[in-house]
Amino acid sequence: MQENEIAYKVIGAAIEVHKHLGPGLLESAYHTCLKRELNNSGIEYESEVPVVIQYKEEVITEAYRLDMLVENKLIVELKTVDKLSDKHKAQLLTYLRMSNKKPGLLINFNEIILKNGIKRIVNNL
Which tens digit of pLDDT belongs to each residue from 58-82?
A: 988 877 899 999 999 999 999 999 9
Q: How many residues does the chain have?
A: 125
pLDDT of residue 125 exceeding 70, the answer is no
Cβ neighbourhood burial of 54 (10 Å; 0-12, 13-18, 19+): exposed
Model's pTM, two decimal places?
A: 0.93
pLDDT of residue 3 exceeding 70, the answer is yes
Tell the CATH topology of 3-122.
Endonuclease; Chain A (3.40.960)
Q: How do the domains of the chain map onto residue ranges?
A: 3-122
